[in-house]
Structure 1
Amino acid sequence: MSTLTRTPAQQDASFAGRRRLRGLAWLMMRQHRAPLIACAAMTVVGAAWIIHERGTTLDALHGAGWPAKHVDGLDGALVQRLDNSFNQVANYLGYLPLLFGVFIGAPLISSDLEHGTARLVATQSVPRSHWILWKLGLALGLVAATTGILGALFGWWWRPVQHVVSSNWLDGTVFVGSLPVLTALALFTTSLGIAIGVLVRRAVTAMVLTFFTSAVALLVADYLKPRLATPRRIAFPLGSEPPPELTNAVQVDQWVGTASGKVYGWGTCVNDSNADACRAKLGIVNSVWDYFGYDQMATLQWTAAGLLLSASVLLVALVVWRARRQAL
């Protein structure tokens, strides 16, 4: 009989083994299980989709003779179909920062403030600062993990097919959809949503305000993107092939210029009745490009990520300061 009975100590150990999470960790998992499940599903489905599309794209290209055959020699319908598939995934990734800000950031604390959950937690033996940090850590960690995995896989897909798809690396689809910008932008919009929620204390109102504020922030970020680094300038003989330095480069502006370095607008003399004589009179002999080289991609991305993460830190600091001092 003694082998079939269990002492209280054994029962307590067995219960503790089954319930490994306690305190705030258990509360966070229980309270936010819906976002946890949604993000886990999003990560698994998104990762499987990207891996499948990458394999399909490379198989189709290799079957068509690429890379031995130049992209211009491939079937146009095939290239268009592969490009559409790539842009479709990229567009979905571009929506993630907005979704995280609205559905995870905005209601994270505002919902607790609105429904009194925050006041209930404060009556327990839990310091308010610990509760705030657990909430922030869970939300931001969840966002970072989801976007980090999907952004890394998207960059893994884009690199071997960058010469086939129409999007260059400075386009929003590639620049934002890959690491580190995707994660930094999602953390920023999530932090923005949390801050708005703490200030307005109403979940639905915070979600609406976060949607419009994040949309404006995304437009501003896209406008400032090419201003994060200084474009390079190169001149080469007018009418000749671009030099190797322009391989994978993104053209910012185009001019025509003289041998001495003076530049004119690219349309100079184009509509003149005798274009050659017009160019000879002005001394125009070169085509001049302002461009970002492929080696500048990392600089632009990390600069953008650094600015976004700095703004996120400021917003999180505002949230902690405000939430610790305002009445629940």
Structure 2
Amino acid sequence: MSTLTHDPAARTAPAGNSQDARGSRQTGPRPRLSGTAWLVWRQHRAAFWTIIAGTVVGVIVMVVLRGQMTDYLSTLEPTQKKPGSAPPEFEKYGDVMTDIGGYLSYFPILAGVLLGAPFVAGDLESGTAKLVTSQSVSRLRWLSMKLAMPAALVALSTGVLGAVFHWWWSPVKGLVTQADWSSSSIFDVTGMMPVAYALLTFTLGVAVGLLLRRTLVSMVVTLGIVVAIAFVWGELRSSLGHIMTVSTHQGVGPGARQPELPDLAIQQGQGTYFLTGSGDRLDWMTCVDKMDNDKAHTACLESKNVVGWSMDYLPFDQMATMQWLGTAIMLTTTATIVTFIVIWGRKRLL
């Protein structure tokens, strides 16, 4: 008498589509994180899920707001869709857009202070790093995963948010007058700039945490450095472009027209200069002490051979080039910081 030891159905069922004894369907093995990748995800899953959720919410909000804006634009006449011609009612859409852009510009600070600074410092302070590396995980492998996984998530999140914001801003870049394209609420949150900026501050926070080895102290120091970087970057941003000049030679008296800038151009310097016949430029305060007397003021300007006005500006078509140059500077700095982290971590991690 034979005994049935195998289920015929299980033997004939195709791979990846078998059934257990209770009849429930089982699929093939699903890809799962393992090793240090699983450890890093498990350890910081709350922060990772917060970034993912914030990205999804941000995308949804911008898509909805863009839909409302385009619906309003469809009701306008063609003449009202030109730069500087939008009706006052459009200002509320511009206000919301610049507010959202301002919120997005804070992402690099959050990436450095709340994510980068405590990411390694917390493990060093609590002893988790020593416990992990005392197992079969090398220092370099653990540190590489601690950098790679959050950096990839930060890059993906900022890239998506930046792309959606640019998609929202592009149709109305000439109509939104609340912030010009060189401001942080536009320039720093479109193109590749948000990715490069956030990666820079994140890796900087990790480096500070690696050196100081205390979570709270690392966060405070990182905040100070990131704020300093934001100030320096604000001063440096405009210098990435090539300043152009427009001039007039029809005098400066009554009826004379000042230079007109191209659409979306950003005026640079102190404003309008007086232009002399020799091509020199004088400060607009020249002869200001004689402004009360028209004849004296005109005579003063004529004595200095003033023939017109001159104005410096940055054209809009330089925006992309300036962003790529800024991105290159930040990514190069980021690569330098990562190199330092790897070298320092291999020798003096614990």
Q: Structure 1 residues 133, 261: CA separation in 2 closer, same or farther (over 3 Å shift)? A: same
Q: Structure 1 residues 327, 42: CA separation in 2 closer, same or farther (over 3 Å shift)? A: closer
**Aligned residue number for residue 248 of structure 1:** 264
| 1:294 corresponds to 2:316 | yes
Helix, strand or coil: the match of 2:319? helix
**Aligned residue number for residue 204 of structure 1:** 216
Amino acid at match of 1:79: F
Query: In structure 1, how many angstroms separate the alpha carbons of the residues matched to 2:242 and 2:348?
Result: 44
Amino acid at match of 1:144: A
Q: Deviations over 1:56-79 (max 9, x none)?
A: 122223323355555655432x13
Amino acid at match of 1:130: R
Amino acid at match of 2:257: S
**Aligned residue number for residue 118 of structure 2:** 107
**Aligned residue number for residue 127 of structure 1:** 138
- Which segments of 5 or more consecutive residues in structure 2 lack a partner in the other structure? 1-5, 19-25
The CA deviation at 1:302 is 1.4
Amino acid at match of 1:251: Q
Question: Number of residues paired by the alignment?
Answer: 322
**Aligned residue number for residue 311 of structure 1:** 333
Amino acid at match of 2:309: S
Which of these two proteins has the greater Rg computed from alpha carbons?
Answer: 2
Helix, strand or coil: the match of 1:64? coil
Query: In structure 1, how many angstroms separate the alpha carbons of the residues matched to 2:185 and 2:259?
Result: 26
Query: In structure 1, how many angstroms separate the alpha carbons of the residues matched to 2:118 and 2:81?
Result: 52
Amino acid at match of 1:2: D
Helix, strand or coil: the match of 1:100? helix
Identity level (%): 34
Q: Deviations over 1:70-119 (max 9, x none)?
A: 5655432x132112101110110011000010111011111111111111
Q: Deviations over 1:7-51 (max 9, x none)?
A: xx999xx79814622212221221121122011111111111111
The CA deviation at 1:242 is 3.9
Q: Structure 1 residues 67, 157: CA separation in 2 closer, same or farther (over 3 Å shift)? A: farther
Query: In structure 1, how many angstroms separate the alpha carbons of the residues matched to 2:81 and 2:184?
Result: 28
Q: Which has the higher helix share?
A: 1
Q: Deviations over 1:128-149 (max 9, x none)?
A: 1111111110121111111111
**Aligned residue number for residue 89 of structure 1:** 100
| 1:45 corresponds to 2:57 | yes
Residue 166 of structure 2, aligned match among 147, 152, 155: 155
* Mean CA deviation greater in 189-198 or 227-236: 227-236
**Aligned residue number for residue 233 of structure 2:** 221
The CA deviation at 1:276 is 3.4
Q: TM-score, normalised by structure 2?
A: 0.85
| 1:277 corresponds to 2:299 | yes
Q: TM-score, normalised by structure 1?
A: 0.90
Helix, strand or coil: the match of 1:36? helix
Query: In structure 2, how many angstroms separate the alpha carbons of the residues matched to 1:161 and 1:74?
Result: 10
Query: In structure 1, how many angstroms separate the alpha carbons of the residues matched to 2:215 and 2:334?
Result: 20
- Which segments of 5 or more consecutive residues in structure 1 lack a partner in the other structure? none
Q: Structure 1 residues 98, 192: CA separation in 2 closer, same or farther (over 3 Å shift)? A: same
The CA deviation at 1:251 is 0.7
